[in-house]
Amino acid sequence: MSERAIPEATVGRLPLYLRALVEMAEAGTTTVSSEHLAEAAGVNSAKVRKDLSHLGSYGTRGVGYDVAYLIHHIRRELGLTQHWPVVIVGVGNLGRALANYRGFPERGFRIAGLIDADPAKIGQRVNAIAIRPLDELPAVARAHEALIGVISTPAAAAQQVAEAMVAAGIRSILNFAPVAIAVPDGVRVRKVDLAVELQILTYYEQRDAALAGLGTVEVERSTRPAGRRVRAATSRS
């Protein structure tokens, strides 16, 4: 791990680079230019070079970056040289989908526990993991040494769940509930609100549609037959 703190924006892009690099490695690619990596990750090449400089990797002029080397160092910086146990609280449709997601193990995460407040769900198994009641969260977290929790409950239950996670020793929370949660200093929260992301997309769709409409008007004005304007002018004389 780098001794210097890496900027938060860079940390947010490292998983994008890692995903692109793993796909390249699987395709047999051994070296990659900053331009190619930028295109695959959806960022510009200047950001790639600056971000990777925080890892101490500047690449080789005329050759590019060693794919395997970058994969190793990005995984190390992200703490993915081990499997992190994760506890999910809220085993509805979203919670079940997360528990069944097969991409977690290959990216360094292991679903260690499933928790729900609904008595009807207790004892059911999802991906071979038994659902446990909320009051067993501390025991589950301790047994698996889980420091990461996922909240996939309705909004009304999210704060109570967050407090239970903190009390159980969980220090990093991924919150899918559509509400902000309050946590003590030292506890990290990442919020994922799908509705907010969709609303951002609708803003751009609306803007693009408006711009396209203005463009159509301008085209119509610019292509309107000039002769018609001339005839109108001569008729007034």
Domain ranges for the chain:
8-77, 84-192, 198-235
pLDDT tens per residue, range 1-16: 555 688 999 999 999 9
Is the pLDDT confidence value at 68 over 70? yes
Class of domain 8-77: mainly alpha
For the record, the structure tokens of 235 come out as 């008729």
Confidence (pLDDT) at 56 = 81
Measured CA to CA, the distance from residue 130 to residue 134 in angstroms comes to 13
Q: What does DSSP assign to residue 3?
A: S
Tally the C-alpha atoms within 13 A of residue 64's C-alpha that lie toward its C-beta: 17
Which letter, b or e, does each residue of 150-161 get, where b requires 16 or more Cβ atoms within 10 Å of its Cβ?
Answer: bbbbeeebbbeb
Indicate the residue type of 208. D
pLDDT tens per residue, range 177-218: 999 999 999 999 999 998 899 999 999 999 998 888 765 445
Single pTM value for the model: 0.76
233: confidence class by pLDDT, cuts 50, 70, 90: very low
- On whether the 84-192 domain is CATH 3.40.50.720, my answer is yes
